[in-house]
Amino acid sequence: MYFGKEKSEKVSERVPPNQVVTKKWPVLHYGNVPYYEDLNKWDLRLFGHVEEEVRLTYDEIMDLPQTELKNDIHCVTGWSKLDNRWQGIATQEILKKVNVLPEAKYVIIHAEEGWTTNLPMEDFMMDTSMLAHSHDGDTLTPEHGFPLRAVVPHLYFWKSAKWVRGIEFLTDNKPGFWERNGYHMVGRPWKEERFSWD
Ligand SMILES: Nc1nc2c(c(=O)[nH]1)N[C@H]1C(S)=C(S)[C@@H](COP(=O)(O)O)O[C@H]1N2
Ligand SMILES: [Mo]
């Protein structure tokens, strides 16, 4: 007899290999948490292989079409957190604000303090990828990425940069912070792409 939900909704089938589900939401990053006093000084720079560089203010970002996405997140250190609801802007909406040249195939997300992460353009552009300002209906706390963080749930969560300040478009792949330290250039949890030698 089968008492569970639909087979595809069984928790065990939502958790990639060698991950453990956590109910709490850990805070994990390298470096310092930025605290913003004045969001008028904040902007998001879209640059690199583009026709013309663009800077979006916080208000311009918040005026873009809003979306809510539900997903599971998987940190490479082994925890997964299921059923997150994020509110924010689809990366596809952000991309409408800039003319990216067709040769651009990779993205580097730039965060505060020079922290970076790289990913293929097609992963950044997926319709499940977003820039979030809220989680489960609450504005992100400084620790979790206020005012804006990337959420790219189909890749290990280190690609989901907190405190995003820029998106750089590249023709050639270039490693970000953890990637320079041996982490994977793509990082798909279901393939366990943790390190560059995996
Ligand atoms: N700017 C920045 N973003 C970052 C990191 C970081 O060190 N700096 N760490 C990443 C890692 S390894 C993880 S698991 C998630 C953790 O997000 P959380 O603290 O909201 O759980 O943020 C990612 N984004
Ligand atoms: Mo992580």
- pLDDT tens-digit map of 31-85: 999 999 999 999 999 999 999 999 999 999 999 999 999 999 999 999 999 999 9
Q: Is the CB of 22 under 6 A from ligand 1?
A: no
Report how far residue 92's alpha carbon sits from residue 89's, in angstroms, rounded to the nearest whole number: 8
With respect to CATH, is domain 20-25+38-191 assigned 3.90.420.10? yes
Q: What's the mean pLDDT in 147-167?
A: 98
Q: Is the CB of 163 under 6 A from ligand 1?
A: yes
Report the separation in Å between the CA atom of 80 and the middle of ligand 2, taken as the mean of its atom positions. 10
Residue 65, preceding bond cis, omega within 30 degrees? no
- pTM for the predicted model, two decimal places: 0.95
Provide the b/e sequence for 98-129 (b: ≥16 CB within 10 Å): bebeeebebbbbbbbeebbbbbeeebbbbeeb
Report how far residue 124's alpha carbon sits from residue 84's, in angstroms, rounded to the nearest whole number: 19
Pairing of strands 116-120, 106-111: antiparallel
Please report which ligand is nearest the Cα atom of 151: 1
Give the ligand 1 atom nearest the CA of 156.
Answer: 14
Lookup: tokens for 96? 């409408």
pLDDT in the model for residue 8:
57
Name the β-bridge partners of 183: 195
Report how far residue 42's alpha carbon sits from residue 176's, in angstroms, rounded to the nearest whole number: 22
Q: How far from chain centre, in Å, is Cα 143?
A: 15
pLDDT in the model for residue 4:
45
Q: Is the CB of 110 under 6 A from ligand 1?
A: no
Residue of the CA atom closest to atom 1 of ligand 1:
162
Length of the chain, please?
198
- Percent of the chain with pLDDT strictly greater than 70: 95
- Percent of the chain with pLDDT strictly greater than 90: 93
Single-letter amino acid code for the residue at 122: E
Q: E strand or H helix at 95, and its extent?
A: helix 91-95
pLDDT in the model for residue 2:
47
pLDDT in the model for residue 198:
79
Report the separation in Å between the CA atom of 160 and the middle of ligand 1, taken as the mean of its atom positions. 6
pLDDT in the model for residue 197:
87
Single-letter amino acid code for the residue at 102: P
Lowest average pLDDT, out of 3-17, 18-32, 34-48, 87-101, goes to: 3-17
Contacts of 190 (CB under 8 A, 6+ apart): 16, 17
pLDDT in the model for residue 5:
47
Single-letter amino acid code for the residue at 106: Y
Report how far residue 14's alpha carbon sits from residue 149's, in angstroms, rounded to the nearest whole number: 23
Average pLDDT, the chain: 95
Q: Is the CB of 30 under 6 A from ligand 1?
A: yes
Report the separation in Å between the CA atom of 64 and the middle of ligand 2, taken as the mean of its atom positions. 28
Residue in 82, 84, 160 to alter for ligand 1 test, most ligand atoms within 8 A of Cβ:
160
Confidence of residue 1 (pLDDT cuts 50, 70, 90): very low
